Amino acid sequence: MTVNSYPVELTAPDVEAYRKGNTGVDFVTTFDSGVAGPHVMINAVTHGNEICGAIALDYLFKANVQPVRGKLTLGFVNFQAFLNFDINKPEESRLVDEDFNRVWLEERLDSDEDSVELRRARDLRPIFDTVDYLLDIHSLSTYSEALMICHGHDKEQTFATKVNYPGYIMCGSGHVIGRRLIEYTPFNDTANDKVALLVECGQHWAAEAGTIALDTALHFLRATEAVSPDFIGQHLSDGAKNPPKAQKWEVVDGIYSKTDNFTYAEDYIGMEVIAKAGTVFAHDGAEKIKTPHDDCLLMMPNYKPGANMRKVRLCKRLD
């Protein structure tokens, strides 16, 4: 299984009409209700090849979404990468210079370092600093079920439970190098009530990813009470109107490859639960990689070749 084996079933929308916006930052638009309330923001295309978020935001713009309290901001955040999207080479537009979702450390944002993504992060930072609730829309490299990710603080778990869509809430650091936007200091500070969530809407270009992205955005807006219930009800897909209670899992480890020869025991797509501790689920060269506990969930397996690369996250049921 490779990332290049998936058909592109979605069409990237033309977002040029949203370039100017009204915030002074390209491709960012804020709607102000004029009524006291939180500042709510939905991000698309943190990674330029993950086009489902752009589809969701394009839909919300065209449906004339408006907040009934507070402010609502819609942003195509790494538009430079997204505008390079090519249906014939869909993976290649993920970034321009570096991963936009790893730069959110003050020592990098305040430094003299330069990249397309760092410049964009610095432009967006004053906006993010004012946001109370953020949804960052992503997608996956396999046909995994969709999942919501938070760092794991109580405030995040509480709010993610209120959103209750999609069907998995995954809590933990993610064992990443760098810092994700959802861990940017204002959101990661337990002394305030600001919350950032990241949703993975299924395989990058699967038709259902666009629907999941929009449904998640609508459930997020419902939970923030930023948009009228009538608007939510009118635009949710039938299958998302009464979701069951989401499962909650803790990310307990991240497995990084040590060699160029990392292979899985089966063609895992993600969210498989392996019943017994000590089960070999992968090999890294001659080393056997085993589950550390019973009922171990494999989250976001990565099939890209190479050493020193995160291959999978291991999760334990919380609820």
**Contact (Cβ atoms closer than 8 angstroms) between residue 81 and residue 120:** no
pLDDT in tens, the chain (319 residues): 444 479 999 999 999 999 999 999 999 999 999 999 999 999 999 999 999 999 999 999 999 999 999 999 999 999 999 999 999 999 999 999 999 999 999 999 999 999 999 999 999 999 999 999 999 999 999 999 999 999 999 999 999 999 999 999 999 986 778 999 999 999 999 999 999 999 999 999 999 999 999 999 999 999 999 999 999 999 999 999 999 999 999 999 999 999 999 999 999 999 999 999 999 999 999 999 999 999 999 999 999 999 999 999 999 999 7
Query: What residue spans define the domains of the chain?
Result: 3-245, 250-317
- Tens of pLDDT, residues 277-311: 999 999 999 999 999 999 999 999 999 999 999 99
Percent of the chain with pLDDT over 90: 96
Cα dihedral 78/141/314/100 (nearest 10): -10
Tokens 């321009």 correspond to 96
Angular region, 225: left φ>0, alpha ψ -120 to 50, beta rest: left
At a CB cut-off of 8 Å and minimum separation 6, what does 126 contact? none
Residue 102, classed as helix, strand or coil, is: helix
Q: What is the pLDDT of residue 173?
A: 81
State which fold the 3-245 domain adopts: Aminopeptidase (3.40.630)
Q: What is the pLDDT of residue 5?
A: 76
Quickly list DSSP for 174-223.
---SSB-GGGSHHHH-TTS--EEEEEEEEETT-HHHHHHHHHHHHHHHHH
The angle subtended at Cα 43 by Cα 39 and Cα 49, nearest 5°, is 175
According to the CATH classification, is domain 250-317 in 2.40.50?
A: yes
Q: What is the pLDDT of residue 287?
A: 97
Q: What is the pLDDT of residue 201?
A: 98
The burial class, CB within 10 Å (0-12 / 13-18 / 19+), for 162 is middle
Q: What is the pLDDT of residue 144?
A: 97
Q: What is the pLDDT of residue 318?
A: 95
Whole-angstrom distance, CA of residue 105 vs CA of residue 118: 10
Neighbours of 306 (CB within 10 A): 11
- Tens of pLDDT, residues 159-182: 999 999 999 999 998 677 899 999
- pTM beyond 0.75: yes
- Tens of pLDDT, residues 116-135: 999 999 999 999 999 999 99
**Contact (Cβ atoms closer than 8 angstroms) between residue 160 and residue 181:** no
Q: What is the pLDDT of residue 2?
A: 44
Q: What is the pLDDT of residue 46?
A: 98
Please name which of 271, 214, 218, 204 lies closest in space to residue 59, comparing C-alpha atoms.
Answer: 214
